[in-house]
A and B are shown apart, each in its own frame.
Chain A
Amino acid sequence: MKLSGWGKYPVQECLVFRPEGAEDIRKLLAELSAPSLITFGMGRSYGDAPLNGGRRVVRTTRMNRFLKFDGETGFLECEAGVTLDEILRVFLPRGYFLPVTPGTKSVTVGGAVANDVHGKNHHVDGCFSEHVRSFRLLAADGSILRCSRGENADVFWATVGGIGLTGVILSVELKLLPVETAYLRVRYETAASVEEAFRLFQDREDGHYRYSVAWIDCLARGRSLGRSILMRGNHLAREELPPPVPEPLAVRPKAGWRVPFDLPGFALNPLAVRLFNDLYYAVHARKKEETVDCERFFYPLDAVEHWNRAYGRRGFVQYQAVLPDGRAFDGIVGLLERISASRRASFLAVLKRMGPANAGLISFPLKGYTLALDLPVRDDGLFGMLRELDELVIACGGRVYLGKDAVLTPESFRAMYPAHERFREVLRRLDPNRRFSSSMSRRLGLTAP
């Protein structure tokens, strides 16, 4: 079956299996002579992390049961195929949100751990793994390992952010965040330039906000470079909700949009994106403060089903890099200038603050700032530019997010993730016969071709 990540680039033919549980996967692993396998959750990684071209892919859609929930502590144990969306549907009405959530809720819990996803609150709450107490992993030899910070800790930190190469995550124990309402108070501020955006992020007020993110117009040039809208928010307590809100924990479903088919390549040309960016900036620049429901604040794009089709059949690449404090400002200016000069349109450029790295061997975040943007695959010139961006990122001591990557070279990967050799050691120990590998692991040189 032809599979791809969210960017629809690359698209690869893979053999798909949908096991009901660990026993079925064990049977697959026991076929020693057969090719490798990798886990595919919801396929929301942008590139080839969940793909295994010409080999096998394990879809976890049927492993989606809730196993235990403790109302006193807020700890939920569920199978790895449960999506964040399902967790919210069941638990938000009971007063729980996710402590960390990426920009879409259509990801599996297993995928969230394997990419060690982050949200708009990394500088406060860290990654998804920060709130994972333990998980159960099916390793290459068929054994099931319970991993936590105190048990099989080396496997824990290799699996967190480890893009599925340590095995198949079967179930996860996660702490949910108690909330009183499904709403947040959001404050908007405009910044006329990158400098101003950085200043706003760094001012003392920022500490009051749990969530913060800046949307950047990366088509603007010169003095307007990096003009942004900064959005910062906090969950609202029940008494802070402005009336009338009959059900504080309910979010009214809104009519969604849908992109019904791949748009033609010229749809997202610089002029169209220019117009969109101008409109977006104009609309948001006028707002000051707003009460927003969590669906709109955390998942604006989930409202447009198949939004990735807007980039046409050739798909797109999302480039996300984090740059450490100190070098971040110059690095981000450099990245923006390079992208702006290339006139490659990007709707969604996002800037966020990040807190310190955790012990995940190839987990993405480190203390500094991260910039993320989409670039349509219009022609092969894109890849040359991306390599230039990689060099700039490496020179600043930063790295690229594997959950979004589709093009990184092995050399760049090694330069960006200095712990890669320790990661490889854990893989060698856990999986000497290479039962787990993916198109991404082969591309990055983490596993042999």
Chain B
Amino acid sequence: MGTIVIVGATSGIGSAAAGELARAGFDLVLAGRNMERLTRLGSDLAIRFGVRTECLAYDALEEGAGVRLYERVAGLCDPEGLLVMHGVLPDPAEVNRDPAAARRCVGVNYLSVVELVIPFANFFEERKRGWIAVAGSVAGDRGRKSNYLYGSTKGALDVYLQGLRGRLAPQGVHVLTIKPGLVDTAMTAHMEGPARRIMGSPERAARDIVRAIRRRRKVLYTPFYWKYVMLAVRLIPEALFCKLNY
């Protein structure tokens, strides 16, 4: 089995996906900010599944971090796939008012992903083999007044990945846009009320992701029913939608 690079491996879904991939027998390169947590995750997966794990520091806000990470990975192994799971869900009150905070969110959720994907895409394109899976969000399907900056970063990713998909398809490299709905992780821990009841588990999301990668799917909504929810949401005329309270 080959090696897979997971960026944002300590995120709720990211660590669950790391578990599923390790269970399938893949060696892993885990990248993120918190080396202590990454090492704990890496040791756990190595012990449970007998795979090799390597932990690398990566901070999405550091300039050039994406290229540096690629170079370190290239020095370690011949990666088979890249899973990008890092992201931040900011407090809307903050990012709606403060351009610097908004810039940081865009930097982490959109810019850093683009900067990271470029060298890996080039590498896979040349080898004519590999895959890239990136965490978008259902929030990227339509701008809602409750979290439009976050949504816009994910919407921007969606469009970027659509184009990338077209570019890489002839080389046999596939691109998956993962669109989680509400999943029970640290990102959504602050939510209460009805939102809690419909949350999916990160383990289920991880299984869906690994299955989608295997089947070379292009877009994955997890849990699946969000596809239909967002279809309906996208159909609501703008004149009506902007009056809705959510």
Binding site for B on A (CB under 8 A): 18, 20-21, 65-69, 79, 90
Across the interface, name the chain B residue whose C-beta is closest to A76: B47
Q: Please tell me if B94 contacts chain A, counting CB pairs below 8 Å.
A: no
- Given the complex, which residues of B lie within 8 Å of A20, measured CB to CB? 37, 186
A20-B37, A21-B37, A90-B48 known; A65 vs B186 contact (CB < 8 Å) = no
Q: Please tell me if B162 contacts chain A, counting CB pairs below 8 Å.
A: no
Across the interface, name the chain B residue whose C-beta is closest to A67: B43
Q: Please tell me if B126 contacts chain A, counting CB pairs below 8 Å.
A: no
Inter-chain contact A68/B37, CB cutoff 8 Å: no
Across the interface, name the chain B residue whose C-beta is closest to A68: B43
A75 nearest CB across to chain B (Å): 12
Determine which of A18, A21, A65 lies in contact with B44 in the assembled complex, contact meaning CB atoms within 8 Å. A65
- Given the complex, which residues of B lie within 8 Å of A66, measured CB to CB? 43-44, 47-48
B91 nearest CB across to chain A (Å): 17
- Given the complex, which residues of B lie within 8 Å of A18, measured CB to CB? 189
B176 nearest CB across to chain A (Å): 26
- Tell me the B19-64 residues at the A interface (CB within 8 Å): 36-37, 40-41, 43-44, 47-48
Q: Which 4 residue pairs of A and B lie closest in terms of their CB atoms, listed nearest first? A: A65-B44, A66-B47, A66-B44, A65-B40
B47 nearest CB across to chain A (Å): 4
The docked-state distance in angstroms from the alpha carbon of A90 to that of B19 is 14
Binding site for A on B (CB under 8 A): 36-37, 40-41, 43-44, 47-48, 186, 189
- Given the complex, which residues of A lie within 8 Å of B36, measured CB to CB? 21
- Given the complex, which residues of A lie within 8 Å of B47, measured CB to CB? 66-69, 90
- Interface-central residue, A18, A65, A68, by most chain B CB under 10 Å: A65
Interface of B (DSSP majority class): helix
The docked-state distance in angstroms from the alpha carbon of A24 to that of B186 is 11
- Given the complex, which residues of A lie within 8 Å of B186, measured CB to CB? 20
- Interface-central residue, B36, B43, B189, by most chain A CB under 10 Å: B43
- Given the complex, which residues of A lie within 8 Å of B41, measured CB to CB? 65
Across the interface, name the chain A residue whose C-beta is closest to B36: A21
- Given the complex, which residues of A lie within 8 Å of B43, measured CB to CB? 65-68
Across the interface, name the chain B residue whose C-beta is closest to A69: B47
The docked-state distance in angstroms from the alpha carbon of A345 to that of B48 is 43
B162 nearest CB across to chain A (Å): 34
Inter-chain contact A79/B48, CB cutoff 8 Å: no
- Given the complex, which residues of A lie within 8 Å of B44, measured CB to CB? 65-67
- Given the complex, which residues of B lie within 8 Å of A90, measured CB to CB? 47-48
The docked-state distance in angstroms from the alpha carbon of A90 to that of B45 is 11
A68 nearest CB across to chain B (Å): 7
B205 nearest CB across to chain A (Å): 15
The docked-state distance in angstroms from the alpha carbon of A68 to that of B44 is 8
The docked-state distance in angstroms from the alpha carbon of A217 to that of B180 is 54
- Given the complex, which residues of A lie within 8 Å of B37, measured CB to CB? 20-21
The docked-state distance in angstroms from the alpha carbon of A80 to that of B40 is 13
The docked-state distance in angstroms from the alpha carbon of A66 to that of B43 is 7
- Given the complex, which residues of A lie within 8 Å of B189, measured CB to CB? 18
- Given the complex, which residues of A lie within 8 Å of B48, measured CB to CB? 66, 90
- Given the complex, which residues of B lie within 8 Å of A79, measured CB to CB? 40
The docked-state distance in angstroms from the alpha carbon of A65 to that of B43 is 8
The docked-state distance in angstroms from the alpha carbon of A182 to that of B40 is 29
The docked-state distance in angstroms from the alpha carbon of A20 to that of B184 is 13
For the A-B complex with A66-B44, A68-B43 known, give 4 more contacts whose Cβ atoms are closer than 8 Å.
A21-B36, A65-B43, A68-B47, A90-B48
The docked-state distance in angstroms from the alpha carbon of A446 to that of B186 is 34
Across the interface, name the chain B residue whose C-beta is closest to A79: B40
B206 nearest CB across to chain A (Å): 14
The docked-state distance in angstroms from the alpha carbon of A18 to that of B189 is 9
Across the interface, name the chain B residue whose C-beta is closest to A90: B48
The docked-state distance in angstroms from the alpha carbon of A68 to that of B189 is 29
24 inter-chain pairs at a CB distance below 8 angstroms, sorted by A residue, are A18-B189, A20-B37, A20-B186, A21-B36, A21-B37, A21-B40, A65-B40, A65-B41, A65-B43, A65-B44, A66-B43, A66-B44, A66-B47, A66-B48, A67-B40, A67-B43, A67-B44, A67-B47, A68-B43, A68-B47, A69-B47, A79-B40, A90-B47, A90-B48
Across the interface, name the chain A residue whose C-beta is closest to B47: A66
Across the interface, name the chain A residue whose C-beta is closest to B184: A18
Across the interface, name the chain A residue whose C-beta is closest to B44: A65
A21 nearest CB across to chain B (Å): 7
B29 nearest CB across to chain A (Å): 18
The docked-state distance in angstroms from the alpha carbon of A446 to that of B103 is 52
- Given the complex, which residues of B lie within 8 Å of A67, measured CB to CB? 40, 43-44, 47
The docked-state distance in angstroms from the alpha carbon of A94 to that of B38 is 25
A85 nearest CB across to chain B (Å): 13
B185 nearest CB across to chain A (Å): 10
- Interface-central residue, B37, B44, B189, by most chain A CB under 10 Å: B44
The docked-state distance in angstroms from the alpha carbon of A69 to that of B40 is 13
A15 nearest CB across to chain B (Å): 12
Across the interface, name the chain B residue whose C-beta is closest to A18: B189
A46 nearest CB across to chain B (Å): 28
- Interface-central residue, A18, A20, A79, by most chain B CB under 10 Å: A20
A126 nearest CB across to chain B (Å): 26
The docked-state distance in angstroms from the alpha carbon of A286 to that of B48 is 42
B48 nearest CB across to chain A (Å): 5
- Given the complex, which residues of B lie within 8 Å of A65, measured CB to CB? 40-41, 43-44
- Given the complex, which residues of B lie within 8 Å of A69, measured CB to CB? 47
The docked-state distance in angstroms from the alpha carbon of A66 to that of B53 is 14
B149 nearest CB across to chain A (Å): 25
- Interface-central residue, B36, B41, B43, B47, by most chain A CB under 10 Å: B47
The docked-state distance in angstroms from the alpha carbon of A18 to that of B48 is 23
The docked-state distance in angstroms from the alpha carbon of A79 to that of B44 is 10
B199 nearest CB across to chain A (Å): 13
The docked-state distance in angstroms from the alpha carbon of A67 to that of B46 is 9
A288 nearest CB across to chain B (Å): 40
The docked-state distance in angstroms from the alpha carbon of A448 to that of B115 is 57
The docked-state distance in angstroms from the alpha carbon of A242 to that of B67 is 60
The docked-state distance in angstroms from the alpha carbon of A319 to that of B63 is 63
